[in-house]
Amino acid sequence: MKQDIHPKYYEAKVKCACGHTWTVGSTVPEISTSICSSCHPFYTGTEKIVDTRGRVDKFKKRLEKSDQKKTTKTVKKPRKK
């Protein structure tokens, strides 16, 4: 290795927002993250969504509304000629 050109190597502690911690090799001593493999729905298989500003709720409500419209729609009237 060349001298004085490499950054310091740390056993960095990674902290996730869910409370899970682990270590990785890194050039910074501490890393904080908001999602990790132990809480991301892709790995957990749960349908927990990280919902900021209630956007998911809004979308679900809209979806329900459109479903109701579909079911309440009456049978097509035959066209007048």
Nearer to Zn ion, 18 or 31 (CB): 18
Among 10, 20, 26, 31, binds Zn ion (CB under 5 A): 20
Tokens 């479903």 appear where?
Answer: 67
Task: Give me 14's structure tokens.
Answer: 């990674």
Q: Is 12 in the site for Zn ion (CB under 5 A)?
A: no
Q: Is 14 in the site for Zn ion (CB under 5 A)?
A: no
Residues near 22 by beta carbon (within 8 Å), at least 6 away in sequence: 13, 14
**Cβ pair 7, 28 in contact under 8 A:** no
Q: Is 31 in the site for Zn ion (CB under 5 A)?
A: no
The residue ranges that bind Zn ion (CB under 5 A) are 16, 18, 20, 36, 39
